[in-house]
Amino acid sequence: MSTELDEHRQLLEDARRLDALSRAVAAIIRPGDVVLDVASGTGILGLLACRAGASCVYCVEQAGIIELARQLAHANGFDDRMHFIMAHSSWADVPEQVDAIVCDQIGHFGFEAGIIETLADVRRRCLKPDGRILPAGVTLEVGLVESPALRAELSFWNTPLRGLDVSAGRTLAVNSGHPMWLEPEFLLSHGRPGCRIDLSTMDDAPFGFTTTLTASRDGILDGIGGWFVADLAGDITMTNSPMSPQRLDRRNVLFPIDRPVALRSSDEVRVTMWIRASDSIVHWVVDVRGGEQRFNHSTFAGMLLTREEIKRTDPHRLPHLSARGEARKTVLALCDGGRTLDRIEREVYDRHGNLFRDYAAAQLFVAEVLTRYSA
């Protein structure tokens, strides 16, 4: 089974998500609108926009799911109005300015699926001055969480494995955001808004917030839970908040602290977060009871950065192409509008045959390059 297809099936199967998006699209799309559906997937938002009266929808999607979207457009009688551009949104050449942009790249905590940088780019390039955006904004919310499951995950790294020390993994684990289902009984506090991202103005600059959470019961603090509330249109929202009876079928994020802390009801915990969305970097500082205990974490410390990768970023390094880099350079040089694909494949294989196990492997290599760079 295609993992990609199954992920989209799950999105379509989420009735609360689809209901909220349907109502929101109907609220913001006007008859005759030109619409841009970014990271369109199955094209569901574009289909809804056509049903709401859009005269033209540009669906931008870089993955193979775009072919299913074309078929769905045809099956629903909209293939004369829906136009498909297979490209990452930052590379997509949209033929005209649009009246509205629709997108659902919200992720688990409201930003990590790329919605901020994606909308900042297409808003600047493609949206009319009086255009509309769905969602209009996303609020990040946080709460205190007790999670024996997370505690067990972190403790795993402290236990020798067949007599071997694996404790180095704990530093990575405790500096990572963990996608998890947070149930109401896991919460030690009510959720509080951290900040609201206005998607009509927000750019890709770092942002952050500080908020104070008050424990509503005794318990063990294991980390800070994060979720979102998306403002779709007017008073139409959708959320994956553990406290909402209308929560989406979407996990939350749990940001650990280095060691569990016992809390009493009414204890205060100050949470500060700094976020660089495009790099997936979150820095969180947790102060318990006025700084009696402080925990300082960053997903940068949780990244699996190799010494080879770090070495390549040295500004004084003199880079040179690898053998496969030279082969890629050959493909691009041969793609001059005067050679057929078959000829390009043959020349690449003739020049760099030692890189490939057979001619079919060379053909695949050329296809991977041209899929990304050729017109």
- pLDDT at position 281, please? 94
If phi > 0 it is left, if psi is from -120 to 50 it is alpha, else beta; for residue 310 that is alpha
| Beta bridge mates, 288 | 269, 293
- Full-model pTM: 0.89
Which helix (H) or strand (E) covers residue 308, if one does? Answer: helix 307-312
Structure tokens belonging to residue 239: 């959320």
Q: Is 185 helix (H, G, I), strand (E, B) or coil?
A: helix
- The CATH number, out of the four listed (3.30.70.580, 3.40.50.300, 3.90.1170.50, 2.70.160.11), of the domain defined by the range 138-305: 2.70.160.11
The residue ranking higher by pLDDT, 278 or 155, is 155
> Average model confidence (pLDDT) for the chain?
94
Sign of CA dihedral 162, 163, 164, 167: positive
What is the C-alpha to C-alpha distance for residues 328 and 368, in angstroms, rounded to an integer? 10
Q: What is the mean pLDDT of residues 24-52?
A: 97
pLDDT at 1: 53
SS3 193: strand
User: Following DSSP, what letter does each residue of 5-43 receive, concatenated?
Assistant: HHHHHHHHH-HHHHHHHHHHHHHH--TT-EEEEET-TTT
Phi-psi region of 107 (alpha: psi -120 to 50; beta: other; left: phi over 0): left
What is the bridge-based pairing of β-strands 127-134 and 236-239? unpaired
Q: Would you say 280 and 179 are in contact if contact means Cβ atoms under 8 Å apart?
A: no
Average pLDDT over residues 154-179: 95
CA 113/CA 101 separation, integer angstroms? 17
**In this structure, what DSSP letter does residue 320 have?**
-
Is residue 140 within 8 Å of residue 112, measured between CB atoms?
Answer: no
**284: phi then psi, degrees, rounded to nearest 5:** -125, 135
pLDDT tier at 212 (50, 70, 90 boundaries)?
very high
The residue length of the chain stands at 375
Full DSSP string of 289-315: TTTTEEEEEEGGGGS---HHHHHHT-T
Whether domain 3-104 has CATH 3.40.190.10: the reply is: no
Is 70 in contact with 78 (CB distance < 8 Å)? no
Output the DSSP codes for 181-228. Answer: PPPGGGBSS--EEEEEEETTT--SS-EEEEEEEE-SS-EEEEEEEEEE
- Please indicate whether residue 247 or residue 290 has the higher confidence score (pLDDT): 247
Q: What is the mean pLDDT of residues 342-348?
A: 94
DSSP 181: P
High-pLDDT (> 70) share of the chain, %? 100
Does position 297 have pLDDT exceeding 90, yes or no?
yes
Contacts of 313 (CB under 8 A, 6+ apart): none
Q: Which residues face 268 on adjacent strands? A: 214
Q: Is the pLDDT of residue 2 over 80?
A: no
pLDDT in tens, 131-150: 999 999 999 999 999 999 99
